[in-house]
A and B are shown apart, each in its own frame.
Chain A
Amino acid sequence: MSTKKVEYARLVTAHSEDLYRYAIWLCKDPTLAQDLTQETCLRAWKSLKNLKDHKAAKSWLFTILRNEYSRQFARYRPNFSTVDLEFLEKKDTQNDTSTEAFALRMALEELAEEYREPLMLQVLGGFSCEEIGTLCGVSTGAVMTRLFRAKQKLRSILAPQSSDIE
């Protein structure tokens, strides 16, 4: 196996699950998320020589995924009238269906995009504020502020009585 293939296999093994989960969160659809992950890895394979710093491999992959999502799926508007209801039921079977998880996802949906994305990159990708700043094109300080406000907002939605503490 060539060095490139070994490196690619290492990247996929280490990061494919995080990529897929992030893709799920972006697409809200397992099938689209798989397509997005496939396309991300395909692009990563094709441009693996561009990855200079292997420590930054994960953020590099997430950048590819975000770009690919913007390119392919941002304008995707499914025609809901043609979607089978049974299929819709099956779509969410892989998610955590507990009440707490449902409430949390609903709370996340209430967050503004600028707060939600850094939070999801931290939760799903495990990125530092600096890495999130690079991915989103904002300063580290701005990321910290957004994360703080995002969690503050979540606390106020999920446990209103406890969010008064500051």
Chain B
Amino acid sequence: MQCIQFQKNYAADPNALSQHLMDHKKNCPECQWFADEVSKIDDSLVNAFKIEVPKYLNKSLLQIPEKQDKKAYYSGFVKFAMAATVILVVGMTFFLRSKPLYEPNSTQFVYEHISHEPEALAATEPVKHAVVRTTMSDFGIAFNSPVGKITHVRICPIGNTHGLHLVIEGKNGPVTLLFLPTLHINQKIPVQQYEFFGYITPAEVGSIAIIGGANEPLEKIETRVIEAIEWL
């Protein structure tokens, strides 16, 4: 019985025999012979699989961390480059889109446009309400409340785009209103050229130039216009 137990245990794992079974081996020639046979097989197995390991394999395996570091570095660099490119493209796009087409010369454009249409300032008769409404509607805006007597209304090319050119009767003379939806500014830009005084002010969409003569209370007109305007 002990022989069977010994032989099973020894064949399974010669290094994990209990003291009791080791003692049995010492006194049992049959089990000693069995152990020798199993050991021969174990040795043969080990020898049969003593395969020569390529010399470069260990070196190659040891280089894995460095290769991974390089890969991670380049991967990180590529990600960074891609992110930077995206940011640059988005930034440039945003910059170009938000950049006014004629911001550097916006006051000059406003002045030139007004001075090149002297008839607009000379008109004193009110434009028919239907004409005002249609022209403004074509431009994309409407007035919900009166802003004053409108003596001129026209959609004009201004710079590289179009604006709505309105002239209303002011306290001291004609007041020009230029609705410039593509001119985006952050703060008021004063306009002072010869007899023209006023400013370009940010609006809900783009900006509005309000130009009149000296001493014209433009702020009040601006308030009226801002309250009345509706972007369609």
Interface residues of A (CB under 8 A from B): 4-5, 8-9, 12-13, 16-17, 20-21, 24-25, 30, 34, 37-38, 41-42, 45-46, 94-96, 100-101, 104-105, 108, 119-120, 122-124, 128-129, 143-145, 147-148, 151-152, 154-155, 158-159, 162, 165-166
CB closest residue in chain B, given A22: B49
Q: How far is the CB of B219 from chain A (nearest CB, A)?
A: 68
A17 pairs with B53, CB closer than 8 A:
yes
Q: In the complex, what residues of B have CB within 8 A of residue A129's CB?
A: 12-13, 16
Contact for B61 among A37, A119, A162, A166, CB less than 8 A: A37
The complex places the Cα of A143 from the Cα of B12 at a distance, in Å, of: 8
**Max chain A C-beta neighbours (<10 A), residue from B8, B12, B30, B60:** B12
Q: How far is the CB of B73 from chain A (nearest CB, A)?
A: 15
B96 within 8 A of A: no
B46 pairs with A123, CB closer than 8 A:
yes
B151 within 8 A of A: no
5 other contacts beyond A41-B61, A166-B3, with CB at 8 A cut-off?
A16-B53, A42-B64, A45-B65, A108-B45, A148-B11
The 5 closest A-B pairs by CB, nearest first: A144-B12, A101-B48, A148-B11, A147-B12, A123-B45
Q: In the complex, what residues of A have CB within 8 A of residue B16's CB?
A: 128-129
B47 pairs with A96, CB closer than 8 A:
yes
Given contacts A34-B54, A165-B33, contact A104 B44 (CB under 8 A): yes
Q: How large is the interface on B (under 10, 10 to 19, 20 to 34, 35 or more residues)?
A: 35 or more
The A interface, classified by DSSP as helix, strand, loop or mixed, is helix
Interface residues of B (CB under 8 A from A): 3-4, 7-9, 11-13, 15-16, 30, 33-34, 37-38, 41-42, 44-54, 57-58, 60-62, 64-65, 68
Q: How far is the CB of B24 from chain A (nearest CB, A)?
A: 15
A100 pairs with B41, CB closer than 8 A:
no
The complex places the Cα of A8 from the Cα of B65 at a distance, in Å, of: 8
A165 pairs with B65, CB closer than 8 A:
no
Q: How far is the CB of B222 from chain A (nearest CB, A)?
A: 66
The complex places the Cα of A131 from the Cα of B62 at a distance, in Å, of: 26
The complex places the Cα of A41 from the Cα of B59 at a distance, in Å, of: 12
CB closest residue in chain B, given A30: B54
**Max chain A C-beta neighbours (<10 A), residue from B3, B33, B38, B61:** B61
30 contacting pairs across A/B (C-beta < 8 A): A9-B62, A16-B57, A17-B58, A24-B51, A34-B57, A45-B65, A46-B68, A96-B49, A100-B44, A100-B47, A101-B47, A104-B44, A104-B48, A119-B45, A120-B49, A122-B13, A128-B13, A128-B15, A128-B16, A129-B12, A144-B9, A144-B12, A145-B8, A148-B8, A148-B12, A152-B11, A154-B41, A155-B37, A158-B44, A165-B34
